Chain A
Amino acid sequence: MSTAAPPTTPGPLTAADGGPLRTALRHRGLGKLLLLAVAAAVLVPLVRATWPGATWPTGLTVDLSGPLGRTSDWIIDNRDSHPLFVYVLGHLSNAVVLSVRAVYLLLLALGWTGVTAGVTLLAWRVAGLRIAATALVSFAVSGLLGMWVPTMQTLALMVVAVLASVVVGALLGLAAGLSDRVFRLLRPVLDTMQVLPAFAYLLPVVLVFGIGVPAALLATVVYAAPPMARLTALGLRGADPGVLEAVSSLGATGRQRLLTARLPLARKELLLGVNQTIMMALSMVVIASMIGAAGLGDRVYQALASVDVGAALAAAIPIVLLAIVMDRTTAAAGARLGSPADTTGPKALRGPLAWAGIAVLTAVLAVAGRLAGSPVWPAGWTVAIARPVNDVKEWMVDHLYSGVPVVGGTADWAAHFTDWVLNPLRDGLTALPWYGALLIVAALAWLIGTWRTALTAVLAMAAIGVLGVWKPAMNTLSQVLAALAVTLVIGFAVGIAAAGSRRLEAVLRPVLDVMQTMPQFVYLIPVVALFAVGRAPAAAAAVVYALPAVIRITTQGLRQVDPGAVESARSLGATRRQLLRQVQLPLARPALLLAVNQGVVLVLAVVIIGGLVGGGALGYDVVTGLATGDLALGLVAGVAIVCLGLMLDRVTQPTARRTAKGA
Chain B
Amino acid sequence: MANLTADASDVPKSRTEQGSSGRPDAADPAGQGDRDVVFSVRHLWKVFGPGADRIPDDTSVAGLSAQELRERTGCTAAVRDVSFDVHKGEVFVVMGLSGSGKSTLVRCLTRLIEPTSGGLEMDGEDVRAMDRGTLRELRRRRASMVFQHFGLLPHRTVLDNVGYGLEIQGMGRAERRERATEMVAKVGLAGLERRRPGQLSGGQQQRVGLARALAVDPEVLLFDEPFSALDPLIRRDMQEEVVRLHREEGRTMVFITHDLAEALRVGDRIALMRDGKIVQLGTPEEIVGSPADDYVRDFVRDVPREQVLTVRRAMRPATDGEAGEGPALSPDTLICDAIEAVARSGGAARVMDGARCLGIVDHACLLNVVARIDRPHRGEVAA
Contact = CB atoms under 8 A, between A and B. Distances in A.
Nearest to A252: B168
Contacts of B156: 264
A246 B139 contact: no
B147 A250 contact: no
A253 B168 CA distance: 8
Interface in A242-283: 242-243, 245-253, 256, 260-261, 264-265, 267
B136 to A, nearest CB: 4
A340 B140 contact: no
Contacts of A253: 136
B196 interface: yes
Given A245-B151, A247-B151, A340-B195, A260 B112 contact: no
Interface string A592-633: 000000000000000000000000000000000000000000
A248 B139 contact: yes
A245 B153 CA distance: 11
Contact of B152 (A243, A248, A338): A243
Which of A247, A249, A252, A337 gathers most chain B CB within 10 Å?
A249
Interface in B176-212: 195-196, 198-199, 209, 212
Contacts, number: 70
Contacts of A245: 112, 147, 151
Contact of A256 (B148, B154, B168): B168
A242 B139 contact: no
Interface in A38-70: none
Interface in B93-139: 110, 112, 136-139
Contact of A251 (B138, B150, B153): B138
Contacts of A250: 139-140, 144, 164-165, 168, 212, 216
Contacts of A243: 151-154
A264 B155 contact: yes
B169 interface: yes
Contacts of A248: 112, 139
Contacts of B167: 260
Contact of A246 (B140, B152, B155): B152
B150 A249 contact: no
A242 B140 CA distance: 18
Contact of B137 (A247, A249, A251, A267): A251
B366 interface: no
A504 B91 CA distance: 61
A373 to B, nearest CB: 46
Nearest to A254: B132
A260 B112 CA distance: 19
B151 A242 contact: yes
B308 interface: no
A247 B195 CA distance: 20
Which of B140, B144, B150, B164 gathers most chain A CB within 10 Å?
B164
B145 interface: yes
B235 interface: no
B154 A265 contact: yes
B195 to A, nearest CB: 7
A267 B155 contact: yes
B149 interface: yes
Contact of B153 (A249, A260, A340): A260
A251 B140 contact: yes
B193 to A, nearest CB: 13
A621 B136 CA distance: 62
B256 to A, nearest CB: 13
Given A242-B149, A249-B145, A265-B153, 6 more contacts: A242-B150, A246-B145, A250-B216, A264-B156, A265-B154, A267-B155
Interface of A: 240, 242-243, 245-253, 256, 260-261, 264-265, 267, 337-338, 340
28 contacts: A240-B151, A242-B147, A242-B148, A242-B150, A242-B151, A243-B153, A245-B147, A246-B151, A246-B152, A248-B112, A249-B110, A249-B139, A249-B145, A249-B147, A249-B151, A250-B140, A250-B144, A250-B164, A250-B212, A251-B137, A251-B169, A253-B136, A261-B153, A264-B155, A264-B156, A265-B154, A265-B155, A340-B199
Interface of B: 110, 112, 136-141, 144-145, 147-156, 164-165, 167-169, 195-196, 198-199, 209, 212, 216
Closest 3 CB pairs of A and B: A246-B151, A251-B140, A251-B139
